[in-house]
Amino acid sequence: MGSIIAAGFNAGSDDGEIESLAQDLRALAEIGAEAVEIAPTTLDLIAGGRVIAERAEALVAATDEHDFIYTVHGLVSSNFMDPATVGYQLAAAKALVEVCDRIDARVLVQHSGALRADQIHDRAQADLRERETLFELAEFARPYGVRIALENIFTTEPGQYRQTPSEVAATVRAVNHPNVVALIDFSHAYLEATYRGLDLMDELRAMAPLAGHLHVHDSFGRPQGFYRGYHPQENTAMGIGDLHMPLGWGDIGWEAIFAELAFLPDTVLMMEIGRRYRREQPASLARARALAELNAGRPAIAAE
């Protein structure tokens, strides 16, 4: 039996209110998604590391309308390497673990960290700071049964310190906690491999044995640099940046990847392909299911 248990899409609010999220959930239920990754930080749900009770109750009511397997995406700005904000980051992440528990989500996505070019004096302690904070969060999450999924990101500005996918895998190994797993974002890995001159498959192979969550969306692996299209569609037209396109719109070799790699048990294939591509979501879901079936020929990796 393979390790991928469900496929689905991310969902969030576009105005800070629950109802727009609820509409997204209903649309995803109609197309037959099995899993949804909620972005609670698109809602006014947490203030200063504290869950706002009445807002949380509204979220629970919206999620209870469906039988999705839920996961939760943490702060997109999450960064446990930053010495100035790491305490606030941790408090918010702990609040999100509580949100996970309220909606029966057992995965919380945490972005891997970074330092700006002007933070060079903090570089020596950055990796250790991230590892220690991840361990503290994992200990907090343990009684809730929530796994922290550390996601590989890509370099976003000149001089930035950012870990490669294989280095993110090394961080997960160093933390060595049963509630910390790697999250492979394939497009992010493609972008960073292009930027650094790395072999994409080697980077993915390093992460796969530790991966308990997957972010799937298409791109051409072309770093964006300083260019910004006037409309998001202009970036898509040129194929540059982190595009979050439907499967098949880019050139990622999905079948070869899923035929080779094996992941941890109970892994969710989460497509970060939003409502902008609603008409393409059903086709992407069908392809994701085919990828999961292809991957089922690979045995799930035993948790270390």
221-257 pLDDT, tens digit each: 999 977 778 899 999 999 999 999 999 999 999 999 9
User: How far is residue 1 from each of residues 88, 141, 194, 294, 296, measured CA to CA in Å?
Assistant: 41, 28, 33, 11, 6
CA distances to 164, 176, 270, 284 from 204, rounded to whole Å, are 10, 19, 17, 21
Task: Identify whether 258 is part of a domain.
Answer: yes
Position 268 in a domain: yes
This prediction has a pTM of 0.96
* Residue 301, in any domain of the structure: no
Q: Phi and psi dihedrals of 148, rounded to 5?
A: -90, 120
Instruction: Write down the pLDDT at residue 22.
Output: 97
Write down the pLDDT at residue 229: 81
pLDDT value of position 29: 98
Q: Would 33 be classed as within a structural domain?
A: yes
Q: Is residue 134 part of a domain?
A: yes
* pLDDT score for 303: 61
Bridge partner residues of 7 (DSSP): 269
* The total number of structural domains that make up the chain: 1
* CATH number of the domain within which 227 lies: 3.20.20.150
**300 falls within a domain:** no
- Full domain range(s) for residue 201: 4-295
Please report whether residue 304 resides in a domain.
no
Which H or E run contains 86? helix 86-102
Tens digits of per-residue pLDDT, 59-74?
999 999 999 999 999 9
Residue 62: what pLDDT?
A: 98
- Which tens digit of pLDDT belongs to each residue from 150-171? 999 999 999 999 999 999 999 9
Whole-number pLDDT of residue 38: 98
Average confidence score pLDDT of the chain: 96
Tell me, yes or no, whether 120 lies in a domain.
yes
